[in-house]
Amino acid sequence: METAHRVSPAILRNHLAFAPIVPIRLRTRVVPNTLMKKFNEQGLKSRAEQNFELFNALQKDRQGFNTLREMLHRWTGIHLTDGPASQLKMANRLTRVLCRHELRNYQQYAERLRAEKPGDIAEFVSAMTTNTTRFFREGSHFETLRTIMAEVIETKKRDKSHEIRVWCAATSTGEEAYTLAISVNEALHSEPDLKAKILATDIDLSALQRAATGIYSQERLAKLEPSLVRKYFSRCENADGEAHFQVQPQIQKMVHFAPFNLHTNPYPFERGFDIIFCRNVLIYFSQETAQKIIERLTGALNPGGYLFVGHSEVGYVRAAGLKMKEYSIYRKSA
């Protein structure tokens, strides 16, 4: 965690040379309906039709759904509830994956996954996890963070420590991690002797790659205060000439992105964290698994450290040694 680790996505382009197009005269001929029917019977269908048929078939495959649901739980701890809504969700997210690999059903896909190739597992987990996030989501947390940062700064000065350690435990595509970096940087503007390091983790490797670039569309920054956009982002353009914005280097350097599964036991950290954000991810685990995660997060906190969870996740927090400071914000006993 000593330096920020950047992952720049490669941009691949195919350069194709085409021969000159020579116009020719064609005789217009109406294809009889009987011939079109024969084509369809022989399986000459559009890709969209094939995908739609596969999607419908996957929704009805309860046995295959249960097999993949168990695999997802075993590898990630994520609990996908039983029922038609979850079957629809899985079919919706995996239809394109199966089509990409030219697979016809869940059984074939499960057989492919049993080989446990890292790329296949990462693709499966990425397809089945949700990347809903935005800058300054649940904004009241960041208002409270300003007060907490003042307390943390005073504690560091008293203990003659020069580093504040923060963990964003479900960073997704990076908006939350960079929001933390901006908030912490604002709090430290008059504290040159203090530095902050932010660990940003997620189980979704593709989301982490996007996060590490620090590049976001104009729409993603729409609700940010213009002053923050001017201060912490630089305007750039993508390959299509569309306006995008990149996080400033001094903010990117504060953040280290790394893959991590919250289901891991035990957590491998040698040093504790002063602040942990683990928001809007516990809801994807069973009550039992979420409780174990909370206990491990508590263990990863320094005495007097703070844990932030999502507003809808308060019911999962029952770990000994945590006391609610504000709704969905907890402090570990000093």
Active-site residue list:
93, 202
Note whether 309 and 200 are within 8 A (CB).
no
**Hey, what amino acid is at 23?**
P
Query: What distance lies between CA 237 and its chain's CA centroid?
Result: 23
**What residues have CB less than 8 Å from 316, skipping those under 6 apart?**
282, 287, 290, 291, 294, 309
CA-angle at 103, arms to 102 and 108, nearest 5°: 150
**Hey, what amino acid is at 205?**
L
Alpha carbon distance 69, 63 (integer Å): 10
**Can you read off the two tokens belonging to residue 138?**
């649940």
Burial class (CB in 10 A: 0-12, 13-18, 19+), 158: exposed
Distances 60 to 53, 174, 197, 209 between C-alpha atoms, Å: 11, 36, 48, 34
Q: How many CB atoms lie within 10 A of CB 157?
A: 13
> In 3-state terms, what secondary structure has residue 236?
strand
Runs of H (alpha helix) within 77-130:
84-100, 106-113, 118-128
Q: How many CB atoms lie within 10 A of CB 261?
A: 14
Q: Which of 280, 318, 326, 3 is nearest to 146 (CA)?
A: 326
**Hey, what amino acid is at 280?**
N
Provide φ and ψ at 304, rounded to 5°. 85, 0
Q: Which of 108, 63, 109, 111 is nearest to 87 (CA)?
A: 63
**Can you read off the two tokens belonging to residue 281?**
């991810």
